[in-house]
Amino acid sequence: MQDQFPYSATDLRQANTITPQTRLSEDLGIDSLKFIELEGIEQELNIAISDDAVASVRDLGGLLEALALA
């Protein structure tokens, strides 16, 4: 899965402090095309996240909640 994630550990360390409120788009620069790559998490974890849940994810906390509910 590491080769699918668009950011390295160095990139994340250089970002501001990452919290559940960290916005995927504005703070981490994850655009819609990169977000599609994040959906590879579903395959890696063998889970299914509803389209509605994916569409509502705006921040890291929302992504973690969607993963927990899957």
> Measured between alpha carbons, how far is 68 from 17 in angstroms, rounded to an integer?
22
Structural domain boundaries, residue 34: 9-69
pLDDT of residue 53: 83
- 31-56 pLDDT, tens digit per residue, is 877 777 767 778 888 888 888 888 88
Do the domain assignments include residue 34? Answer: yes
Q: Return the ∠ at Cα 67 (arms to 50 and 14), rounded to 5°.
A: 125
Q: Model confidence at 1, in pLDDT bands (50, 70, 90)?
A: very low
Do the domain assignments include residue 28? Answer: yes
Question: Is residue 23 over pLDDT 80?
Answer: yes
Question: Is residue 27 over pLDDT 80?
Answer: yes
Task: With beta carbons less than 8 A apart as the criterion, state whether 1 and 40 touch.
Answer: yes
- 50-67 pLDDT, tens digit per residue, is 888 888 889 999 988 888
Can you give the CATH number for the domain in which 18 is found? 1.10.1200.10
Do the domain assignments include residue 4? Answer: no
Q: How many structural domains is the chain composed of?
A: 1
What pTM, to 2 d.p., does this model score?
A: 0.65
Q: Which two tokens stand for residue 28?
A: 């981490």
